[in-house]
Amino acid sequence: MYLSLLSLKINIKILLTDTSSTFHFYPGLEMNTQLFLTILFGFLCVVVMIWQLSLISKHFLQHKVMTKVDIFIPKVLEPRYLTLCTRFVDVLDYDRLNRETKHSFSYTNGGAPEDNNQIREIQHQLSVKEIFDYTPHEKEIIDDAYFRTSNSIRQYRYASPEVYKYFNISKFVIMEHICYMINKVNDTPHLYEKMALTPVGSGLIFALNLSKALKRSNNIRLIVSQGVPFRSIVPSATVYRGYNDTTGSAKLNHFSSYSFDNRVVLLPAPYETNCFDYHTIGLSSEIHCAHTCTLQKTLERYKKVPFSVIIQTRMNERMISYLDVDHEDFTGVNDTINAKDILEIQDNCTNHPLCRRNSCDHATQITVTHHIHALSPKFKLILDVPGHPSYFLISRPATTIVEYLTHILSVMSTYTGLSIIGMNPMIVLKKLPILNNYLRNKGSGKKVVAQNSLGLEWKICIRDREVKEMKQRFEFEVKRIERLYHDLANTFKTNEEERSTIEANTGKHISIT
């Protein structure tokens, strides 16, 4: 095997070095062996290089993405909103509502089943503005609060009305709920470890004792979010407090909530994730977009507000209620409403070209709520540090433009012999014949004329250097041969003189071979 490979290597070497051999393609068509192999090798190199470049370019132009997965509890806690949602029929100021609107609404929590019909009638008759006006005001829901600042582990307590200097509260309506978004004024990020381990109240961010205006809250939702909870309200669960008007108390009063994030960061077009940054059009997400579209379409068609979207403005229109869908009962509107019509509007808005693309920052805060057994009858909410790791899925380009160019240049360098260092301006200038000629003729003051083609000058420069080196080697060999010849001649002359002397002294003929 070894002898066969050695024989093959010798034959190839002979073939490549034997410039006199020729290939016969057709009668009369011959080509020098070395020239033929050079052309063949060059052709194969070009073909393979183009093939590899096409594969790299195809992969890059597909704009694939890679996903990095992080599972962690954040070291720094960003400010969060704690949102309390409760049925607005539970907390309406019925005395003032009936007095100012001439209604005669009332119902009893924990009462007879017919109270459900009264609840539906209230939901059907009230406008959005009336819901905002006759539910507890934003500055009437907190009795006192406990909280820490970002640079202290001490707990601060403030009672109403001073407490409202430290908390912002805003309202919105969705479905049968009136919701209160609560966050600290000018809140700053907190270190997780400092908040999680403290001498008193470990894990506490803030705690709120709610006022009597909300004591009748029965079916509640608690949502922790980083803004208006367009997405976070969907996975939140409803908690039944068990409030009874007869006893004036609820079975469950103290609740502790925390949140963890499910966040997916995508890349916009042309990448395959094809996300859209909704902040560029004044929206926060595709859900916010669908809500806005559903609200506009429903108002245009029915002159009523859909129950499935977040309403933050005080509107004079009423909400679509259970009675609307069930009885198709409208005042001043000829159309009728049924569940199919509402679902059609929602589906059209969800699949609208502007709203159906995924948000580039798809963040959902998942709220976990626990009931705390306590003797105090006060309705209390506690916001704690996360007790569950967050999940981040972050997309990045599978091949960046820098990596793509690096791969392209690497392939081209492999098959053409070009390199970045070889294209260094200092190296290139040294190779240019203009500079070489200038350096060669600098002492004589001879002018140098540049050629038209830089590539041609480069080749000439390299050829001139090679010829000069060959000439120097040839002159060295000639001088070496001359010295050898001179040494041989001197040696022969010395031997002749010695032979003549010996023959004269001995009288014998001596031959030197």
Is 458 within the bounds of a domain? yes
Distances (CA, A) of 437 to 56, 271, 442, 449, 458: 43, 53, 8, 9, 12
The Cα–Cα gap between 376 and 249 comes to 11
Average pLDDT value for residue range 13-36? 55
Q: For residue 247, what pLDDT band results from cuts at 50, 70 and 90? A: confident
Lowest pLDDT segment from 116-125, 233-242, 290-299, 328-337: 328-337
Please say if the pLDDT value at position 152 is more than 70. yes
Please say if the pLDDT value at position 89 is more than 80. yes
Lowest pLDDT segment from 203-207, 291-295, 342-346, 455-459: 455-459
The Cα–Cα gap between 203 and 146 comes to 12
Is residue 150 within 8 A of residue 190, CB to CB? The reply is yes
Please say if the pLDDT value at position 444 is more than 60. no
Is 89 within the bounds of a domain? no
Residues 55 and 7 in one domain: yes
Residues 13 and 50 in one domain: yes
**491 burial level (CB within 10 Å; 0-12, 13-18, 19+):** exposed
Residues 448 and 497 in one domain: yes
Query: For residue 513, what pLDDT is reported?
Result: 52
The Cα–Cα gap between 341 and 337 comes to 6
Could you tell me which residue, 426 or 318, shows the higher pLDDT?
318
Is 287 within the bounds of a domain? no
The Cα–Cα gap between 218 and 238 comes to 10
Q: For residue 445, what pLDDT band results from cuts at 50, 70 and 90? A: very low
Is 244 within the bounds of a domain? no
Please say if the pLDDT value at position 505 is more than 90. no
* Alpha carbon 103 to chain centroid, angstroms: 54
Residues 409 and 463 in one domain: no
Please say if the pLDDT value at position 85 is more than 90. yes
Residues 444 and 493 in one domain: yes
The Cα–Cα gap between 397 and 59 comes to 11
Please say if the pLDDT value at position 478 is more than 50. yes
Please say if the pLDDT value at position 288 is more than 50. yes
Is residue 124 within 8 A of residue 318, CB to CB? The reply is yes
Q: Report the chain's terminal Cα–Cα distance, integer Å.
A: 49
322-334 residue pLDDT tens: 877 765 444 433 3
* Alpha carbon 285 to chain centroid, angstroms: 16
Query: For residue 115, what pLDDT is reported?
Result: 67
Query: For residue 502, what pLDDT is reported?
Result: 64
25-83 residue pLDDT tens: 555 555 567 777 778 888 888 888 899 999 989 888 888 899 999 998 888 888 899 99
Please say if the pLDDT value at position 263 is more than 90. yes
HEC secondary structure over 238-252: EEECCCECCCCECCC
Please say if the pLDDT value at position 359 is more than 80. yes
Residues 412 and 453 in one domain: no
**Residue count (the chain):** 513
Could you tell me which residue, 254 or 503, shows the higher pLDDT?
254
Q: For residue 16, what pLDDT band results from cuts at 50, 70 and 90? A: very low
Could you tell me which residue, 221 or 13, shows the higher pLDDT?
221
What DSSP element (H or E) covers 404? helix 401-416
* Alpha carbon 203 to chain centroid, angstroms: 31
If you ran DSSP here, which 8-state letter would residue 236 be given? Answer: P
* Alpha carbon 80 to chain centroid, angstroms: 22
Say whether 336 sits in a helix, a strand or coil: coil
By percentage, how much of the chain surpasses pLDDT 90?
36
Is 168 within the bounds of a domain? no
Residues 407 and 463 in one domain: no
Highest mean pLDDT among 19-23, 272-276, 445-449: 272-276
Is 281 within the bounds of a domain? no
Q: For residue 425, what pLDDT band results from cuts at 50, 70 and 90? A: low
Residues 446 and 494 in one domain: yes
Distances (CA, A) of 480 to 97, 254, 318, 487, 488: 122, 107, 112, 11, 12
Is 199 within the bounds of a domain? no
* Alpha carbon 419 to chain centroid, angstroms: 33
Is residue 21 within 8 A of residue 15, CB to CB? The reply is yes
Domain of 477, in residue numbers? 439-506
Q: How many CA atoms lie within 13 A of 8 on its CB side?
A: 5
Please say if the pLDDT value at position 335 is more than 80. no
Please say if the pLDDT value at position 466 is more than 70. no
Is 47 within the bounds of a domain? yes
Is residue 207 within 8 A of residue 215, CB to CB? The reply is no
For tokens 């997309």, name the residue: 395
Please say if the pLDDT value at position 336 is more than 50. yes
Is residue 276 within 8 A of residue 358, CB to CB? The reply is yes
Please say if the pLDDT value at position 105 is more than 70. yes
Give the chain's mean pLDDT.
Answer: 80
Pairing of strands 361-372, 390-397: unpaired
Q: And the tokens for 490? A: 């001197």
Please say if the pLDDT value at position 376 is more than 90. no
In the chain, the number of structural domains is: 2
Query: For residue 331, what pLDDT is reported?
Result: 42
Q: What are the beta bridge partners of residue 180?
A: 84, 171
Query: For residue 434, what pLDDT is reported?
Result: 52
Lowest pLDDT segment from 259-263, 423-427, 457-461: 457-461
Please say if the pLDDT value at position 171 is more than 80. yes
